[in-house]
Every structure is written in C-alpha cells, then in structure tokens.
Amino acid sequence: MSNVAEIFGSKVFNLPTMQERLPKATYESLLKTINEGTALDSKVADVVANAMKDWAIENGCTHYTHWFQPMTGVTAEKHDAFIQPTEDGTVINEFSGKELVMGEPDASSFPSGGLRATFEARGYTAWDPTSFAFIKDNSLCIPTTFLSYTGEVLDKKTPLLRSMDAISKEAKRVLYCFGKNPAKVISYVGPEQEYFLVDKELWKQRKDLLLTGRTLFGAMPAKGQELEDHYFGQIKERVSSFMKEVDEELWRLGVYNKTKHNEVAPAQHEVAPIFSTTNIAADHNQLTMEVLKKVAGRHGLVCLLHEKPYEGINGSGKHNNWSIGTSEGENLLKPGKDPESNTQFLLFLAAVIKAVDDYAEVLRLAVATAGNDHRLGANEAPPAIVSIYLGEQLEAVVEHLVSGTESTEAKAAAYLETGVESLPVLKKDSTDRNRTSPFAFTGNRFEFRMPGAAQSISGINIVINTIVAEALSQFADQLEGVEDVTSKAMEIVIDTLKKHKRIIFNGNGYSDEWVEEAARRGLPNLKTTVDALPYFVSEKSLSLFEKHGVFTRVETETRTDIMLEDYSKAINIEMLTALEMAKQEILPACLEYTKFMVDDVAKKESIGISVPNEKDQAKKLSELTESLIQKISALDAVAEAVPSGLSAVDTATYYKDNALPAMGDLRTVADTLETIVSKEYWPFPTYTDLLYNI
C-alpha cells in the first residue's frame, strides 16, 4: 500500500495542481470563482481548459466527459476524445474553454417528468468549478450541472447548489444581527455508507438480486444476526483486501475516506469519509458508490446498495451527518461549554427544531423510495415518523427554557471511571447514542438516519438546507432592526421551543408506544412512499422551494412524478422477476421433489412398507405446491391488470395495494417450500449461501 499522503488526490485537478499549472492571475481569478461564486471570464476558462487537458493527458487520459447527476440518482457521462483533425490528416489534442464550461448531451433519454414535452429536448451541462475535475478510466471527468434549454433543472446538483446559497443567505442575515459578517455560511455533510457484499458466482444464480438488487424469495438462515458477532468484528481477508483497494481508489480521487467496519448483519459493512461541503460530499458519495461496485467486481464480489437485500436481516442506510458553519470556521451547531447561555447556538438549534417540525413531511418524502420502504419502520431502522433526539444535556436546557425554571449550574464535564489506574481518564460525550432516532443531535451536528443506502444524498440535503433556511429567514425577519438582539433572540428561542417541542423525542423510536404517542402529538406517520410523496406538491412545499429559489413549481411537480414513476417501475420489475422465478425455477423444483417423494411412498406401499409420516410429508408438499400455483396465478392477475393512463400517484398506489401484497403471499408459500424441499432440488442459492460465503 502506498503512502496515503502521497497518493491522496493524485487523480484530481485540485488547488495545488491548479496553482502549479496556471498563470498566477488565472489561478486567482478561478479561486475567486470557486470561493465567492463570481462569474468566470471566458479567457480564464480557455487557459484553465488547456492546463487541465495537459495534466489529464500526462496522466493517461484520452477523453473528457461532463459528469452529471440526472434525476435517475446515478451519474451520467458521455466521453469525447480530445482529438482535433489537422489539415495534414493527423490529429492534435484540443480542449477549449467552451468545451470545459458547457456541454450538450442529448437530454431525451433522461427523466424530465414531462419537462421535455413542454420545453425543448435539448439539455445543457454547465461546469461546477466548486467541485474539482478528476480522472476516471482514462477520462477527464468534469463535474457539471444539467439544465434544459429553457433553464429548468434536470439534475440533482443544481438545486443542491441553490439550497446551499439559500441557507448561506439566511444564516448570514441572522449572524449579521449578532454583529458577525462571514463571507459565506456553508452546509457540511459526512455520509456514512452501508452496503452488503455477496459472492459474484452466487449472485449470478439469483435473478432477483441480478435484476432488482434484493432477494424476492428466501427463507431465514439458521443463523441470523442474533449473536451480534459481526458488528465491528474482525474483517475477513477477502473483504479487507476489497476495502483496501476501495480506500486507495477513493483517496486518489480526493475522497476523504476515513472509517470502515463490519455492520450489524452478516456480510454487511460501512464506509465513511470525513465531512465536506454538501456539494462535494454528494459528488464524492456518488463516486464512492461507483467505486464500491467496480472494485467488488475485481474481487469476485458484488456490492449491494439496496436498502433491504434480505428480508429479516438488517437493511442498509446512509447516515447523513449535517452541520452548518461559517467560511471562517465557526460551527454554528457547537453548543460550547455552557449551551444554556449561548444564545446564538440556541437560535440555530431552534431553527433546526422548527424546520424539522414544520416540514416533517417534506423531510420524510426526501427519503421515500420503493427500496427504503422496506427499511423504515422495520424495527431496525428509524421509524417512518420524523422526530428529533437532543440528548440529556440539551433536553434539560430545553426543559428549563420552556418551563421558565431557574437554570441549574452548567453541568461540569463528566468523566468515565474505569477503575483501572493505568488507563487514561475518559471525558464523556454530552450526547449519548440513540440509534432509534431519525434525526439525532450528536454533539456538533445532526445525524439524519432515514436516507436509504442507494439514494443520492443530494435530495436529502436540498431539503435540509432549504427548510432550515426558511426557519432562519423567519428568525432574521424578527431580529433585523432590533436593538437588544440577545433578548429578542432568547424570546424567539423560547417561543420556538414551546411551539415545536412535540418533535423532540428521546425515547425508543422502535416501540409501539412511540407510534401511539406520536399520533397524540399530531406528528405525521407516512408509512410508504405513496403516502409521503404527494406532500411535495402541497402548497406549503411548493411555496417553500419557490421562495428560496431552489425549485420552481414546475420543477417540484415534475420531480414528484419522476419519484412516483421510479417507485412503480421498481415494483413492476420486482413483480415480473418474482413471477419468472416462481414459474420457471421454484415451481418446477417443487414438482420434481414432490414427484420423488410421492413415487417413493407409492413404491414402498406397493410392497407393503407402511410410511404414514413420509406420506404426510408428501401430502404437505403437494398441498403447498398447489398453493404456490394459486399464488402465482394471483400475481399474474395483478400483472395483467396494471392500469394504464392513470396519474403517477394512482399508478403507484395500484402497485402498493396490489402488487406488493400478492408478491408477499407468493413469497410466504415459496419460502415455506424452501425449508422442506431438498437442497439438491432447490434452484438457487439460499440465504445461508449468500450471507456466509464471502
């Protein structure tokens, strides 16, 4: 393994490389664009493009591509060679400022939610200089946004950048009232990525994993995760060598990969970087998912990013650690030694609490996908009910402020007693862990635990940035022009906490009592994607995104349709895959094994051997196989009756109400059969094979 400091960022056109290769004036002009968002001069772009090209070619590149994030949630790229023909029939390498700044991929094959029907089919990509260009597969990749001919956004990056501007603007207004004037307020994210690994040869034999990313059949293995021996356990050699290669590739790409460990379920793991700005974190998380998949292949493995590859086994999420800070380095969510008298901190804390309570539905729908529906509320992941966990210390502060009681002395830092003199004294964190909370304060940031492992983190952070921007905007409206800012701010804090206290919940989010309690508190419990998504186009949501210039109304509406269509498409593919597997693989296997048993019974009885128990078993097999055929027919009927011409939400509702239950019924019978049919006859690898063979 190479020295990390030496290889880090070696495939990135980052600041040191720019400084080394660009004329001073060009470098400074570009730096100003990156830091302050000033428009880029076309002459500067030409010089940058040329330097980028030379650097890329020296590093083995033949092509360049605008790398963007259409609304599919994965990245897209179209590669063009640098070559330019000359008169003498040879070629030279060329890359102009124009080619760097703008591209025109055909937009017609990307989802637009109907935007293209109304507008032009053309799409444009535009360079995002705040995210560095990098090299992948001998191509220079330039992070870009993706827009339609008339300026409607067709991607996930543009609204994310807009939301970052919105929160910066509103947070600065608030800070200005406190006598501060930072250049920018930046939202940061450190996303923890969970994933499963599975042996590639076994994976190939499972049509469901191959086509849908999750198992549609499979009885529980004899050993699940009850021994809790996998979490943080020793990493197996094959996995470890895979992880090392992932680290190295990502470090070369400038991703701050920091942590890796085994997760709760067998064959489940996690990787996490050091946090960066939401924009870069989103780009890097896309790269991380891509590298995980690619490197897995080289090790004879497949990386599953689906939220619930295995029923009855923990699913995979993506913990979104979010905070805001000034460009000068002040973390606005840092409580300090005495949070109770830290008015500015309390105000920002109150803004997050208010934002999450006011827009719980929007936050919920940002994590709504067909895959994540299997995970949320499944007694292992956060419930579908959004609530905030503050931890003991802040909970006490909130209590004092709301009830108006005297504040107790600021709690002295607590220490852990190990009882062993030679061990260092450990300072206790002021917040404990509450893994059941969807939105937990963890000392200087909030950890949003609902996002699914396969999701782009852009959508989630667009929502968090925008809802917090809105709360801050309302606070700034009240603070501006006020003489005694501190008392006014405290008044706002207390008022906000009183109004929004209901969203705070420090107990067990998995419990049934919480579901009842949340209902009493009037908190929404949007169980599925279909329940949640319509809130995106509620007046409250439309006007929120419009006010902060994040989405136009049309953009919000089209995005809702795209998400609903994604949901329907995912379930449709699952339904057809389940049918195919049941008809072509499971049923024939069951018929064959039943025949074997029935023949055996008949033979034995014909020579007078009495086998009542074996006969019962054969009978049970026959009955279950009959039932299997019946469930196949029922699902077939659902597939044949898929309505056409309905709205996106009605179509999605059809799949939720008809396809999912029928698939569940079919699975139940098939899984029971799996437990009694001979392994030799069973047509594909079982859960034990998949989970314990890496």
What does the binding site for ligand ADP look like in residue numbers (CB under 6 A)? 188-190, 192, 259, 272-275, 321-323, 331, 444-445
Which of ligand ADP, Mg ion, none does residue 111 bind (CB under 5 to 8 Å by kind)? none
Question: Cβ 389 to ligand ADP, closest distance in Å?
Answer: 13
How far is the C-alpha of 30 from the C-alpha of 48, rounded, in Å? 8
Beta-sheet strands, E only, within 21-90: 63-68, 76-81, 83-85
Angle value at C-alpha 463, between 457 and 464, nearest 5 degrees: 85
Our CB check for ligand ADP shows the closer of 26 and 437 to be: 437
Give the three-state DSSP class for 421.
coil
The DSSP H or E segment spanning 448 is strand 446-448
CB of 457 to ligand ADP, least distance (A): 11
Complex with Mg ion: residue 136 or 319, whichever CB lies closer: 319
Tell the smallest beta-carbon distance from residue 442 to Mg ion (Å): 7
For the CB of residue 446, give the shortest distance to Mg ion in the complex, in Å. 11
Buried b (16+ CB within 10 A) or exposed e, 320-344: bbbbbbbeeeebbbbbeeebbebbb
666: left (phi over 0), alpha (psi -120 to 50) or beta: alpha
Q: What is the largest CA-CA distance in the chain?
A: 104
Q: How far is the CB of 141 from ligand ADP (least distance, A)?
A: 23
Choose the one of ligand ADP, Mg ion, none that binds residue 444, judging by a C-beta under 5 to 8 angstroms depending on kind.
ligand ADP
In the complex, minimum distance from the CB of residue 319 to ligand ADP, in angstroms, rounded to a whole number: 6
- Which tokens is 329 given? 């380095």
Q: Which long-range contacts (CB under 8 A, 24 or more apart) does 567-570 make?
A: 567/368, 567/369, 567/370, 567/529, 567/530, 567/533, 567/652, 567/655, 568/648, 568/651, 568/652, 568/654, 568/655, 570/212, 570/369, 570/370, 570/371
Nearest residue to Mg ion, by Cβ distance, number only: 319
Per DSSP bridges, beta strands 388-389 and 439-441 are parallel
Nearer to Mg ion (CB atom), residue 2 or residue 259: 259
190 binds, among Mg ion, ligand ADP, none (CB under 5 to 8 A by kind): ligand ADP
List interacting residues with Mg ion (CB under 5 A).
319
272 binds, among ligand ADP, Mg ion, none (CB under 5 to 8 A by kind): ligand ADP
As measured in angstroms, the least distance from the Cβ of 301 to ligand ADP is: 22
C-beta of 177 vs 351, nearer to ligand ADP: 351
CB nearer to Mg ion: give 319 or 548.
Answer: 319
In the complex, minimum distance from the CB of residue 445 to ligand ADP, in angstroms, rounded to a whole number: 4
86-110: b (≥16 Cβ within 10 Å) or e: eeeeeeeeebebebbbebebebeeb
Determine contact, residues 273/288, Cβ cutoff 8 Å.
Answer: yes
Beta bridge partners of 525: 385
Distance (Å, whole) CA 220 – CA 313: 9
Least CB distance to Mg ion at residue 318 (A) = 10
Other CB atoms within 10 Å distance of the CB of residue 223: 13
Is residue 500 within 8 A of residue 357, CB to CB? The reply is yes
| One-letter identity of residue 514 | W
275 binds, among ligand ADP, Mg ion, none (CB under 5 to 8 A by kind): ligand ADP
Between 171 and 189, name the residue whose CB sits nearer to ligand ADP: 189
